[in-house]
Amino acid sequence: MSARVTVCVLLYGDYPTLAKRCIESILQAAWFDDVNIVVGLNAVAQVTKDYVYSTLGEYSRAVIVESDSNLRKYPMMREMFYGVGEAAKSDYIMWFDDDTFLISGSVSRQASWLSTLVGQLGTSPGLLGRAYTIPWLGQQRSWVKSQPWYNSNTGIAPDKVSFIQGSWWLIQTAVLHNLNYPWLNLSHNGGDSMLGEACRHAGIKLINYTAGGVAVNADAAGKESAAPRRGVSEPQIGRNSAATSLDQATTLLHPADQLFSVGEHGLQYSPYSP
């Protein structure tokens, strides 16, 4: 494909099975040789580190970013995006948390899948992935109004925030950098929903991916539903479940054209130059 794509994968902790499942699914995709890959090792176990280096250490298009201490998700993500050069050189960035993987034998492993996704994203600023809404929580409204990307002409979304679930997504690199995402004041939680609100203020479209082939926020058995993962119950956002009040209040968005597109007051973007 002509567009340059960097796949970014964040691995965390002593979960080598999740790490290997995610990485292997990407390596086995027919389009893998067309992409760069940046792997973040955030306080991972030695067995995970050994696996990553033995698998990707000699790969010319791979960059490995390490932190022995737990930086939390968004500081590590920022290091992967801005601290190394490969992501900045690409036209697009595809993000994977380690609990996400490409399903064997599915469309996501086929050679044409990546170029199809890029085509769906198009040339106007956009963010593609699993789209959801979530009610406003706590002081989020006040936080949004204090951010440099807040657009007073757009205002605060009245009841719920539309967003792309943070375990897997695709975005134009220039859009990511113009938003300066992830912001320095993010640590671990809430970054995906606030990115959705920032996109609304900047006139960036959200595209809901529904074609399948990607297991997002999946447990050890590959199920995207309430099940033990990392020792706790973490239902997929958007599923009805009694496990958490947050999950009860969250509703899956479908179809994508009921979201929003570039608005009248959208910000103007210029290509990013590292």
Question: What pLDDT is stored for residue 3 in this prediction?
Answer: 64
- Does a structural domain hold residue 265? no
CA nearest neighbour of 6 among 58, 71, 75, 65: 65
Low-confidence ranges of the chain (pLDDT < 70): 1-3, 85-88, 225-274
Question: What pLDDT is stored for residue 27 in this prediction?
Answer: 96
- Does a structural domain hold residue 263? no
Strands (DSSP E) found in 72-220: 92-97, 101-102, 126-135, 160-172, 205-208, 214-215
Question: What pLDDT is stored for residue 151 in this prediction?
Answer: 95
Question: What pLDDT is stored for residue 62 in this prediction?
Answer: 92
Mind listing the pLDDT tens digit for each residue in 163-172? 999 999 999 9
* Side chain identity, residue 269: Y
Mind listing the pLDDT tens digit for each residue in 219-247? 777 777 443 344 333 333 333 332 222 23
Question: What pLDDT is stored for residue 87 in this prediction?
Answer: 64
- Does a structural domain hold residue 73? yes
Distance between CA atoms of residues 10 and 98, nearest Å:
6
CATH (domain of 147): 3.90.550.10
Q: What is the pTM of this model?
A: 0.82
- CB half-sphere exposure, 260, CA atoms < 13 A: 22
Burial class (CB in 10 A: 0-12, 13-18, 19+), 131: buried
- Does a structural domain hold residue 270? no
- Does a structural domain hold residue 11? yes
- Does a structural domain hold residue 41? yes
Distance between CA atoms of residues 45 and 210, nearest Å:
34
Which domain does 29 fall in, by range? 5-258
- Does a structural domain hold residue 264? no
- Does a structural domain hold residue 220? yes
CB atoms within 10 A of CB 81: 24
Quote the number of domains for the chain: 1
Question: What pLDDT is stored for residue 86 in this prediction?
Answer: 60
Average of per-residue pLDDT values in the chain: 80
